[in-house]
Structure 1
Amino acid sequence: MHQHSGYCPLAMKILKENAGPLTNFEVLDFLKSRGAAKDPTKVLAPIAPSEFKVYDYLVQSVARSQTRESITKFVIECKPYKLTKSEIATIINIRPSSVVEIDPLIENLDSRLGESVEDLVQLVVEVFPPSPDEKKS
């Protein structure tokens, strides 16, 4: 028997199967699968202090209210906009709800999307639930 070396099959699966950047939801989901929680006594695997910090940050972000289904739906429905993988991940992570918020996230926004940028913003708002902060206001 050899000692646990910190190897995590799920992490390897994520690295092998995901050719693009991970969304905050995927990182949060991964940390939850390792047992990260507000209660450190419920940890299933050795979790570094930095992983707890990332978990604490992400659980307060829009990733908390996202689902794998909503992300898949968004990725499929935003194909007509010809966004890069990185732009899609950034939109998912930030969940912009206005043209002003989405403008800095997409390179050459006006020339690439023109008037359809408002449709893209509407898609984001329809597919993803409001952020925790937006629900409070």
Structure 2
Amino acid sequence: MKVIEAKAGALTNFEVLNILRTRVATSDPLGALGAVTPSECKVFDYLVQTAACNQTIESIDKFQKISEKYRLSKAEKLNIINIRPSSQPEIFPIIEDCENRGLEPVLEELVNMVVEILPPRPSKPEEQKDNL
């Protein structure tokens, strides 16, 4: 993997996953026929188990556009996209100085917006077995 522009900005997990998909990464390092490194396969294996595998560029763009009214920093938006919190206790530590910025009263609204716009992480195989 080549760095085209150093320090151009942080990537979301979705963007990293897309880069790995274009490089034909799989969970099996031998399945990629040497196109990717074993560490890239491990990252791919991790990311396909997160919300990143269900996200779309449209959902991320929509989230970023709607979240403007909350005056979140770029790092806070990135963490929310990557972690996809679904409750106030999950989102509270992501937002720096939440109380003093006056965001505490709108946390529930922000969480509901995240849950509505950003798709959930895939269910795990054991969860699927329980649902059958």
Q: Under TM normalisation by the shorter chain, which class is it?
A: 0.7 to 0.9
SS of 1:47's partner is coil
Aligned residue identity for 2:114? V
Cα shift at 1:133: 3.8
Q: What is the Cα deviation at residue 40 of structure 1?
A: 5.0
Cα offsets for 1:21-62 (capped at 9, x unmatched): 111111001000111124556638721111001000001111
Equivalences, count? 125
Q: 1:90 aligned to 2:79?
A: yes
Structure 1 residue corresponding to 2:23, chosen from 17, 34, 48: 34
Residues 86 and 112, structure 2, Cα contact 8 Å, conserved in 1: yes
Separation in structure 1 between the aligned mates of residue 42 and residue 112 of structure 2, nearest angstrom: 32
- TM-score of the superposition, structure 1-length normalised? 0.80
Determine if the alignment matches structure 1 residue 124 to structure 2 residue 122. no
Return the letter of the residue paired with 2:38: P
Larger helix proportion of the pair: 1
Q: Give the whole-Å Cα distance in 1 for the aligned partners of 2:94 and 2:23.
A: 31
Gaps of 5+ in 1: 1-5
Stretches of structure 2 lacking an aligned partner (at least 5 in a row):
none
Alignment partner of 1:109: what SS? coil
> 1:3 maps to what in 2?
none
Q: Aligned residues: percent identity?
A: 49
Structure 1 stretches of at least 4 aligned residues deviating more than 6 Å after TM superposition? none
